[in-house]
Amino acid sequence: MEPLGAAAAAARIAAGDLTPSELTERCAARIAERDDTVRAWVDWDPRPPTEAAAARDRETPTGPLHGVPVGIKDIIDTADLPTQHGSPIFAGHRPATDAACVAALRAAGAIVLGKTATTEFAAYEPAATTNPHDPGRTPGGSSSGSAAAVADGMVPLALGSQTAGSVVRPAAFCGVFGFKASYGRADRRGIGAQAPSLDTLGWFARHAGDLAIALGVLAGPAEGGGDRIHQPEHPRVAVVRTDHWDQADADTRTAIETAAARLADAGAEVDELETPEPFPGLTDAQTTIQAFEAAETLGPLRELHEDDLSESLRALLDTGAAIRPEAHVAALALGEDARSRATELFERWDVLLTPAARGAAPRGLDSTGDPVFCRAWTLLGTPVLAVPGLRGADGMPVGVQLVGRPGGDRRLIDLGGRLHTLLA
């Protein structure tokens, strides 16, 4: 039985054809069956939250996610479950309150099924999670457990976050939609900070429509009314290969060509775009900002708990601590300059089509892969979307990335849904 998406599940629950308890049990059964291999969940009891589900059973559905189980990346505070940030420092830590995004999901009727595995403080030290399509490969990170849980049909919707490529990359590796909102649009309160100039909420689903429902629940109104602009019949798509194209393997190159061709066949205006200055500098600038701010944000924890940090995290913090404040300020200024020019870019183009990752999920679990194709857009603050549907030469999922204009989150999701239909 194909697992239900969030919208379909909510509709059946609202129609009285399914109860929240039944759905929660189904998700729990899938987790019980598969999570010894996938390891998407932390502290899975493995009893489902039966009381919360039973309470939803008794309520009249009003919220758009009534009775829908969701997974929450374990850097996001939950009052009823530990929040451990993928670090022994926070072992068993129980926040006093829900993060704003968790509270919004619950208010919309969702049931928090559990916490999903994250890399250490959403940086580079891998979680135990494996790729649902091949347990010998990484699911990507840092939102490893959320991407894998959605891909494996354990839950229809899960929250992640992105500082470099922590939503788009695992979504592409696991073959699901991964959406990162416009910077500043979704409330971050209660989400563990890594690099505050970059950190942004994101979420995973198997259906574009589910992303849109979550957008309504999780994001405030768009700046400049970007959401109100109706969908163009013939979207103008710029294929952006970027300066990193030589790092894209054959699978990724084929995926971009395929997506571009299908869009053109379907009536889109598709052209190549070589991004002007200062866009090519964004990748390096993002790398500088991330390391510098991580060293500041996680500095006190390092002071107190040096021995409980991984070597890879210490290396990141060392790199950040060696960056001069002037270099950080210059990187922020470059980002600001690019943002001011992005307005013009998105007057000409509705969406950019660009690689989501260098290829399919790499073999091995000692790295979550390279966020090189995501860094620039995270600094630019645009909404981005990993669109699944394609497979590489060895059968593993290969995603492509769509980049929308800042504030145009809803429009991007809709366009991603259309592209997915063309790819599937």
Catalytic residues: 73, 142, 166
Residue 329 interacts with its own copies (CB under 8 A): yes or no = yes
- Rounded to an integer, what distance in angstroms lies between the CA atom of residue 419 and that of residue 417? 5
Provide the pairing of β-strand 157-162 with 351-355.
unpaired
Residue 303 interacts with its own copies (CB under 8 A): yes or no = yes
User: Binders of its own copies among 41-100, rule CB under 8 A?
Assistant: 77, 83, 89-90, 93, 95-96
Could you tell me how far CA 90 lies from the centroid of its own chain?
A: 23
**What are residue 148's phi and psi, to 5 degrees?**
-70, -40
Size, binding site for its own copies by CB under 8 A: 30
> Which one of 119, 297, 368, 401 is in contact with its own copies (CB under 8 A)?
297
CB of 184 to its own copies, least distance (A): 4
Nearer to its own copies, 152 or 227 (CB): 227
Q: In this structure, which amino acid lies at residue 71?
A: G
User: Binders of its own copies among 159-188, rule CB under 8 A?
Assistant: 183-184, 188
Closest to 121 (Cα-Cα) out of 314, 304, 298, 331: 298
Q: Residue 177 in contact with residue 211, Cβ under 8 Å?
A: yes
Q: Residue 66 in contact with residue 157, Cβ under 8 Å?
A: no
CB of 300 to its own copies, least distance (A): 5
C-alpha distance from residue 60 to each of 57, 109, 363 (Å): 8, 10, 47
What would you report as the CA-atom Rg of the chain, rounded to the nearest whole angstrom?
A: 20
- Rounded to an integer, what distance in angstroms lies between the CA atom of residue 359 and that of residue 177? 16
> Which one of 192, 371, 388, 417 is in contact with its own copies (CB under 8 A)?
192
Tokens representing 39 are 């390891």
Nearer to its own copies, 215 or 352 (CB): 215
CB of 243 to its own copies, least distance (A): 27
> Which one of 196, 221, 225, 276 is in contact with its own copies (CB under 8 A)?
196
- Contacts with its own copies by CB under 8 A lie at 77, 83, 89-90, 93, 95-96, 183-184, 188-189, 192-193, 196, 293, 296-301, 303-304, 306, 321-322, 324-326, 329
